[in-house]
Structure 1
Amino acid sequence: MDAAQLKQEFKKANAKLDRLEALRREVEEEYQGERNVLEQQETYWLGEKRKWGDALVA
């Protein structure tokens, strides 16, 4: 392999790495969004549980 071929292969590899990094960020953002929703739901249900528990005790 000569220098020109190596340079071309290096460019291809870097392009693949850039695409993978973009996909990783996209998946990470989506996961974070789902995690936020789950945390909000958990907070809501803990509040409901507390409300019902207080009502039963009263």
Structure 2
Amino acid sequence: MPSFDIVSEIDKQEIDNALNQARKELATRFDFKGTVAEIEFEKDQIVLTAEDAS
């Protein structure tokens, strides 16, 4: 019986492009004005940081 391997690879440039677009959205959105909200790519993890609502 034939077999095959499934390989999942990520394109880090595409991730970088998506994160940059999300950063631009956070910077220009009115509902995020005056808040701290950040998106970072650390090693192999995407880290989202935001203020508490209270």
Using CA pairs under 8 Å that are at least 6 residues apart, name the structure with larger relative contact order, 1 or 2.
2
Give the TM interval when normalised to the shorter protein: 0.3 to 0.5
Q: Over alpha carbons, which structure has the higher Rg? A: 1
Higher strand share goes to which structure?
2
The TM-score normalised by the length of structure 1 is 0.35
The TM-score normalised by the length of structure 2 is 0.37
Higher helix share goes to which structure?
1
